[in-house]
């Protein structure tokens, strides 16, 4: 896991260094750059899988961010010995070419490969790992927008999930190179729940890391992961007296994991002091995004201080299994369409925010519900099994019934921004600072964001 950046042009080396400095939090364990002709690639490293420094070069150059969970199987097929998924990816690309290499990957990734005066950038099929680019007088890319801003770029695009972009002096070509396989509709409740349990068990196992932590709210999604994971630490954040504070204590007790719970009650003063850092991290002053990012930002910050580098999250369960209230009133076909649209947009709506909040504290976020096989299964499960007799996430609850107590299994949970108490706390802070009327919370956060931008100039 790390941060990557690259640029073209006569000043590419200096620009890439500026970009790496802007995302140093993503990789405190080292950095490196490689320049050939007018192309420079760079990396800041957070050591998790292997110790191979980047960029990797040998007739081409690779910088890579993410985790490839089947790299050992790929390395064995390639007849190479390595503990590095980045080294394995490089060897696979050199052996089979980019598109065939991507087809073999099981993981969450974004990477760039340069060869023969061209740069290729690619992103995993759901967009778990971020990648942004800008093209004008020069071409540049990076793991976070702030890196491109640091290099003087204004018009910034996100590479679409599952796509590969090729840059050359002739321009850019973007094409979809990976996605999700389709299959027959699954309408049998028992078959669906059994398959879902097995795939979730595998998804959590492959993402488990020692020491491992879970962003824990005490709801169905994080409780299911906690029950499947091997001896995880549970990190929970909420405003003093909030629903999440009470729920996580109760849930941890029901799971028999009270001794693994790290529970932190935020004060209004702590929240107010952290708002500029949170806005800076997620590059947004939208009240909803700030309020949702805040618990994860603090949880990853606390975990990082405890030596944790990997944290699991329940992100994606609501979009795959119909967890939001807005889904209940939809008819069958409309629900199917809404869920597919939401999973297609989850990278820009949720994943980029969550990655930035956790990586601001040098913690890698892993999302078992967004495992490729879990997504492919979820897309096959009939909508009637997702909202069943008015019960949201029905099939997920059935899948987890063997390892979760009924008190957690069937409990409905409030939206994260309200259950944590952060959104109401932001409203109070806005009023305390003299904001009132329409969009007063948004205008309060906008004023903080403007101060951040002014201080940079």
Q: Which residues are catalytic?
A: 2
**Contact, 172 vs 51, CB < 8 A?**
no
Which of 133, 131, 160 lies closest to 8 in space, CA to CA? 133
Residues 6+ apart with CB under 8 A from 190: none
Tell me whether residue 390 is exposed, middle or buried, using C-beta atoms within 10 angstroms of its C-beta: 0 to 12, 13 to 18, 19 or more. exposed
Evaluated on CA atoms 342, 348, 353, 358, the torsion sign reads positive
Which of 124, 115, 63 lies closest to 89 in space, CA to CA? 63
CA separation for the pair 124, 109 (Å, rounded): 5
3-state secondary structure the chain: CEEEEEEECCCHHHHHHHHHHHCHHHCECCEEEEEECCEEEEEEECCCCCCCCCCEECCCEEEEEEEECCHHHHHHHHCCCCCCHHHHHHHHHHHHCHHHHHHCCCEEEEEEEEECCEEEEEECCCCCCCCEEEECCCEEEECCHHHHHHCCCCCCEECCCCEEEEEECCEEEEEECCCCCCCCCECCHHHHHHHHHHHHHHHHHHHCCCCEEEECCCCHHHHHHHHHCCCCEEEEEEECCCHHHHHHHHHHHHCCCHHHEEEEEECHHHHHHHHHHHHHHHCCCCHHHHHHHHHHHHHHHHHHHCCCCEEECCCCHHHHHCCCHHHCCCCHHHHHHHHHHHHHCHHHHHHHHHHHHHHCCCCEEECHHHCHHHHHHHHHECHHHCCECCECCHHHHHHCCCCCCHHHHCCCCCCHHHHCCHHHHHHHHHHHCCCCCCCHHHHHHHHHHHHHHHHHC
**Contact, 454 vs 280, CB < 8 A?**
no
405 C-beta neighbours (distance < 10 Å), count: 15
């Amino acid at each position: 896991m790390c941060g990557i950046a690259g640029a073209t042009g006569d000043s590419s080396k200096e620009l890439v260094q500026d970009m790496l400095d802007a995302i140093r939090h993503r990789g405190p364990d080292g950095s490196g750059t490689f320049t050939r002709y007018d192309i420079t690639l760079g990396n800041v490293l957070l050591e998790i899988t292997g110790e191979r420094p980047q960029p990797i070069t040998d007739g081409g150059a690779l910088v890579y961010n993410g985790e490839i969970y089947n790299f050992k199987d790929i390395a064995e097929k390639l007849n190479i010995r390595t503990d590095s998924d980045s080294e394995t990816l490089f060897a696979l690309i050199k052996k089979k070419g980019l598109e065939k290499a991507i087809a073999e990957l099981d993981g969450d990734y974004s990477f760039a490969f340069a060869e023969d005066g061209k740069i290729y950038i690619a992103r995993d099929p759901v967009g778990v790992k971020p990648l942004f680019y800008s093209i004008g007088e020069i071409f540049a890319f990076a793991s976070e927008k702030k890196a491109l801003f640091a290099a003087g770029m204004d018009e910034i695009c996100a590479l679409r999930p599952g796509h590969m972009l090729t840059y050359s002096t002739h321009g850019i070509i973007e094409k979809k190179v990976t996605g999700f396989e389709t299959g027959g509709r699954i309408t049998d409740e028992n078959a669906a729940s059994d398959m879902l349990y097995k795939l979730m068990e595998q998804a959590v196992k492959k993402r488990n890391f020692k020491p491992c932590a879970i962003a824990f709210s005490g709801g169905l999604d994080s409780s299911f992961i906690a029950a499947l994971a091997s001896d995880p630490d549970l990190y929970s954040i909420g405003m003093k007296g909030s629903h999440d504070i009470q729920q996580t204590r109760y849930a941890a007790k029901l799971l028999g994991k009270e001794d693994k719970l790290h529970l932190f009650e935020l004060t209004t003063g702590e929240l107010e002091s952290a708002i500029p850092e949170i806005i800076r991290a997620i590059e947004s002053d939208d009240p909803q995004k700030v309020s949702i990012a805040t618990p994860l930002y603090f949880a990853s910050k606390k975990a990082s201080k405890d030596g944790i580098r990997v944290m699991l999250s329940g992100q994606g369960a609501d979009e795959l299994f119909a967890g939001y209230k807005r889904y209940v009133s939809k008819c069958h076909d409309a629900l199917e369409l809404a869920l597919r649209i939401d999973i297609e947009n989850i990278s820009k709506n949720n994943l980029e925010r969550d990655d930035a909040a956790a990586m601001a504290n040098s913690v890698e976020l892993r999302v078992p519900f967004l495992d490729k096989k879990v997504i492919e299964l979820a897309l096959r499960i009939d909508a009637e099994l997702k909202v069943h007799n008015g019960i949201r996430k029905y099939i997920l609850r059935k899948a987890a019934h063997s390892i979760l107590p009924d008190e957690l299994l069937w409990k409905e949970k409030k939206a994260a921004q309200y259950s944590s108490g952060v959104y109401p706390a932001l409203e109070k802070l806005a009023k305390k600072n003299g904001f009132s009327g329409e969009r007063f919370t948004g205008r309060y956060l906008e004023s903080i964001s403007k101060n951040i931008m002014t201080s940079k100039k």
